[in-house]
């Protein structure tokens, strides 16, 4: 008979210090860092054997009302036409349908060039690409539906993100992924494509914006791992609105041509050290950067984490800019 | 000895699509629907055998700060002079005292004319009456105290909702309910009365506003169920403030005379189909509508839900208006 | 091996009535009181035997966005440079490091002169000192790091609260505490000191602001308990901003000289009765008050609570002011 429904709790917390320097050459004072979150994971199973579930963080239910990261984003529990950070799925023999704050097919298929963790995600610099540049863009709200299906080491996925109001265009994506092992090496390849009929309202109007990306990753039993990530953009512009930032630098209405990212890491015993580099080629000069981390696993869910990131903007329209941040402390998973 | 105190978790999630047309004849684009919530149910027992408890949803603790449904309603955890969506009770041999976001005695006693569920409550149209028209009205905040007591199939209840500031009037209510069985038929009758010395600030000032309602419902083992609901209003006006809506239509300062509602449903196997109709007779013409649902129970807490609702306003002050919405998807309870 | 990580739930709820009179001689209408909260307590243990943990309330994750008590305070989950109400700790043989919304060393070491509880903390009047006057002051955000260490009945602690932006000064504190027993009497002494290089921007600028406090408390097996609390302030001013309140009275830019507080309580069977008195000596006259409570323990986590508090301001700059509030109801812990 059907599995009992459940709501499970997990949590995370961080304490430490952070600091750095902004792009305007202003010191970020060395100061305390504290963060906390709680996740509600719900799961069930129908009489017919379909599994279903949903997930929401305690801070997602209210959205970015009180945010340091954006405007008045709607909460997960409040506006049903927006996901607000929740994900919901149904899964069976014929694949999995996920709706909400989930990856578009390109992001789902590809590995981002990032290894390790830091309290303030300091190793995610201006040249870092999380593969989601075409998700939640073009005036869309990031509420995505994705269907994916796996057979052997292969997985394929398709995704859609639709306009809530008249005007604008929907975003569609398709992705494929292969995961395998060769001796003591585990490897994965990802290929993804996303497109929107709009091109973010850039003055240089015209054809639709798109992204075609490829990633390759491998990890060896010896502790070495590496990720390569490349994306070619076509007619993808940042918003022309004054003050629009890209990679943490003010860069309205610039065209993003392509991105390349690499990450390497080495784990020995409880220690993981890793570095990553990424570069966006834009119509207004390169936005690039690198990140460094060292993570020491204390066991039981706790780890010491040090992170550093530096970002550079070869600003074609003015003086070159750079910024950097660091953090150090203890991260806890419950 | 006393039962251990507990805080229990339950949850819900929905994914699907919705669309329709507004009263201004604007298409609501067909788009994704996602929703999620988590409920905390607390319970305990005193040494003397009184049970007590409380309940709050994860989104109620913050209120309508980020809402699509109203203004800056206070959260359940923040303003103690408002309930913000929480309910709290103490219960013993002499009855139950409930305080917070609970039904006034009329709403508590009566069955609303509604059967089945839909993702966006699309089957709750402009002519639908949830029996709570006199709760949270007259400038009151919806923080209600209700005492109810059951003996055999009978229950009686009284309720009060008091003004937090000087001026205005309190709302009082009284209700009675009988539940019984006749062969394979379960039936219930409800009778309720509520009154406030104010009449919602209507220009046509004067006596106090009141509602007297009656409901009858029955469900047969064969799967057929039906609900009838009638309420007579006296000096009950919508707010005169410009833009005030009633049943989803702009209708400030109109008097509500009476309401009638009926619902019928039939359940066979996993499928439930139901329809409901309701009509408000107002000083400015009828506001009525109907709703249709089909629910298919997948077991384990999941069900497929389709819903449709259409609302009409025989607007005496201008052209007739109508609007409709639909939704379809999967609803999950955890 | 390492203890399993866990996230535990606890909760509280209150229902009752409250009322009183404001300092402007305006009646606070007798009205309903409802409140609710849920606490997430997380804990774990590293392989090396360090324990770690964190705690957040459901309402702290969003901050004072919708508050009746302050401005747009950041939520615990949202701005990592502010604690927003969360606490996080690591503890081992060499002591405990706590970061977040925790007590500065003075508040940590001292006992406040308060016994018993009331729904609206009505017994915390204008002359009540929670020992935290120098925490979260001087433009700081209340995000504190404290290290404490215990040996036998002794505990010592040091604390720091650092500026997030350029300008201003950090607050440092040191405290010591002794707890012991003498026959049927348990007693405790606390001593604390905190200092900030700033003096809250008072017109009478100059030296740094500081507080030096001492407390003594005892409780007897017979049910009698008493607390004495004294703090000497040096160059501690309330903010000069118009409308700044102190003890619930408008009192911008006044200097606080010292504070004295006493509380006595007697518990017999399920009943606790207690009274407390406190007085601030300020440059503009005394701010003092008293509080009374009666608590009856119903068992199982529930208790009846009655509370009353009255506050007086011998306002040197105008007519004397007073205000008072009361509450009565049931408080529940789950």
Reported as a single tens digit per residue, the pLDDT across C120-168 is 999 999 999 999 999 988 888 899 999 999 999 999 999 999 999 887 8
Looking at the partner chain, which of C44, C47, C58 has a beta carbon nearest the beta carbon of A334? C44
Instruction: Evaluate whether ipTM surpasses 0.95.
Output: no
Residue A240 in domain: yes
Report residue B2's pLDDT band, with 50, 70 and 90 as the boundaries: very low
Residues of chain B found within 8 Å of residue A77, distances taken between Cβ atoms: 35-37, 57-59
Residue A326 in domain: yes
Q: Determine the 3-state secondary structure of C108 from DSSP.
A: helix
Residue C67 in domain: no
A105-114, B105-114, B193-202, C140-149: range with lowest mean pLDDT: B193-202
Looking at the partner chain, which of B9, B34, B299 has a beta carbon nearest the beta carbon of A80? B34
d(CA B212, CA B106): 8
Instruction: Report the share of chain C in percent with pLDDT over 90.
Output: 78
Q: Determine the 3-state secondary structure of C86 from DSSP.
A: coil
CB atoms A37 and C77 under 8 Å? yes
Q: Does residue B70 have a pLDDT over 70?
A: no
Closest-CA distance of chain C to residue B98, Å? 9
Whether residue C83 lies within 8 A of chain A, CB to CB, comes out as yes
CB atoms A88 and B13 under 8 Å? yes
Residue B24 in domain: no
Whether residue C67 lies within 8 A of chain B, CB to CB, comes out as yes
CB atoms C298 and B50 under 8 Å? yes
Of A261, A256, A262, residue with least CA distance to A281: A256
Closest-CA distance of chain A to residue C148, Å? 16
Tokens standing for A138?
């073009």
Q: Does residue A240 have a pLDDT over 50?
A: yes
Low-confidence ranges of chain C (pLDDT < 70): 1-4, 64-73, 199-206
Report residue A198's pLDDT band, with 50, 70 and 90 as the boundaries: confident
CB atoms A100 and B15 under 8 Å? yes
Residues of chain B found within 8 Å of residue C69, distances taken between Cβ atoms: 78
Residue C70 in domain: no
Q: Does residue B291 have a pLDDT over 90?
A: yes
Residue A252 in domain: yes
Residue A228 contacts residue A249 (beta carbons within 8 Å): no
d(CA B1, CA B21): 58
The predicted pLDDT at position B79 comes to 84
Compare all CA atoms of chain A with the CA of C146 and give the residue at the minimum distance: A32
Domain residue limits at A263: 6-333
Closest-CA distance of chain C to residue A20, Å? 12
Residue C24 in domain: yes
Q: C106 — phi, psi (to 5°)?
A: -65, -50
| Beta-carbon contacts of residue C151 (< 8 Å; ≥ 6 apart) | none
- Residue B147 to residues A84, B98, B103, B160, B164, Cα–Cα distance (Å): 38, 6, 11, 9, 20
- Residue C217 sits in a domain of what CATH number? 2.40.160
Whether residue A21 lies within 8 A of chain B, CB to CB, comes out as no
Residues of chain A found within 8 Å of residue C2, distances taken between Cβ atoms: 299-301
SS3 of chain A:
CCCCCEEEEEEEEEEEEEEEECCCCCEEEEEEEEEEEEEEEEEEECCCCCEEEEEEECCCCCCCCCCCCCCCCCCCCCCCCCCCCCEEEEEECCEEEEEECCCCHHHHHCCCCCCCCCCCCCCCCCCCCCCCCCCCCCCCCCCEEEEEEEECCEEEEEEEECCCCCCCCCEEEEEEEEEEEECCEEEEEEEEEEEECCCCCCCCCCCCEEEEEEEEEEEECCCEEEEEEEEEEEEEECCCCCCCEECCEECCCCEEEEEEEEEEEEEECCEEEEEEEEEEEECCCCEEEEEEEEEEEEECCEEEEEEEEEEEECCCCCCCEEEEEEEEEEEEEC
Which residue, among A39, A46, A160, would best test binding to B if mutated, counting the most B CBs under 10 Å from its CB? A46
Whether residue A52 lies within 8 A of chain B, CB to CB, comes out as yes
Residue A178 in domain: yes
CB atoms B66 and A72 under 8 Å? yes
Of A219, A211, A212, A145, residue with least CA distance to A179: A219
List, for residues A102-151, the tens digit of each pLDDT value: 999 999 999 999 999 999 999 999 999 999 999 988 888 899 999 999 99
Of C173, C92, C125, residue with least CA distance to C312: C125
The interface residues of chain A toward chain C in range 239-298, judged by CB-CB distance below 8 A, are 298
CB atoms B330 and A43 under 8 Å? no
d(CA B53, CA B43): 4
Tokens standing for B199?
């009449």
CB atoms C44 and A10 under 8 Å? no
Compare all CA atoms of chain C with the CA of B102 and give the residue at the minimum distance: C34
List, for residues C176-209, the tens digit of each pLDDT value: 999 999 999 999 999 999 999 876 555 445 578 9
Residue B104 contacts residue B159 (beta carbons within 8 Å): yes
Compare all CA atoms of chain A with the CA of B303 and give the residue at the minimum distance: A46
Residue C16 contacts residue C25 (beta carbons within 8 Å): no
Number of domains in chain B: 1
CB atoms B301 and A44 under 8 Å? yes
Q: Looking at chain B, which subunits does it touch, using at least 3 CB pairs closer than 8 Å as the criterion?
A: A, C
CB atoms A332 and C2 under 8 Å? no
- Residue A179 sits in a domain of what CATH number? 2.40.160.10
Tokens standing for B174?
């009284």
Q: C276 — phi, psi (to 5°)?
A: -140, 150
| Beta-carbon contacts of residue B22 (< 8 Å; ≥ 6 apart) | B28, B323
Whether residue A80 lies within 8 A of chain B, CB to CB, comes out as yes
């Amino acid at each position: 008979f059907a599995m009992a429904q459940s709501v499970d709790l997990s949590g995370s917390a961080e304490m430490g210090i952070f600091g750095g320097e902004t792009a305007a050459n202003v010191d970020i004072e060395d100061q305390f860092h504290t963060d906390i979150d709680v996740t509600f994971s719900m799961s069930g199973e129908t009489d017919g054997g379909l599994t279903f579930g949903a997930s929401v963080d305690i801070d997602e239910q209210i959205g970015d009302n009180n945010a340091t990261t954006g405007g008045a984003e709607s909460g997960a529990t409040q506006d049903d036409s927006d996901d607000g950070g929740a994900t919901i799925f149904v899964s069976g023999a014929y694949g999995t349908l996920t709706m909400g704050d989930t990856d578009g097919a390109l992001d789902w298929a590809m590995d981002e060039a990032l290894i390790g963790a830091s309290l303030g995600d300091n190793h995610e610099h201006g040249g870092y690409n999380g593969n989601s540049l075409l998700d939640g863009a073009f005036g869309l709200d990031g509420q995505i539906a994705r269907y994916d299906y796996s057979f052997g080491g292969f997985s394929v996925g398709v995704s859609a993100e639709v306009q809530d109001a008249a005007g604008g265009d929907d975003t569609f994506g398709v992705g494929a992924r292969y995961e395998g092992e060769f001796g003591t090496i585990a490897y994965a390849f990802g290929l993804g494509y996303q497109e929107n009929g709009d091109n973010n309202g850039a003055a240089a109007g015209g054809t639709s914006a798109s992204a075609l990306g490829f990633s390759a990753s491998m990890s060896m039993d010896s502790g070495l791992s590496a990720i390569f990530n490349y994306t070619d953009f076509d007619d993808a512009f940042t918003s022309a609105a004054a003050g629009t930032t890209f990679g943490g630098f003010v860069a309205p209405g610039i065209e993003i041509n392509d991105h390349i990212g690499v990450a390497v890491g080495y784990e020995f015993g409880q220690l993981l050290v890793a570095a990553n580099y990424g570069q966006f080629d834009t119509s207004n000069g390169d936005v690039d950067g690198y990140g460094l981390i060292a993570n020491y696993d204390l066991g039981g869910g706790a780890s010491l984490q040090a992170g550093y990131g530096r970002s550079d903007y070869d600003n074609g329209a003015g003086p070159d800019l750079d910024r950097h941040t660091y953090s150090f402390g203890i991260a806890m998973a419950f």
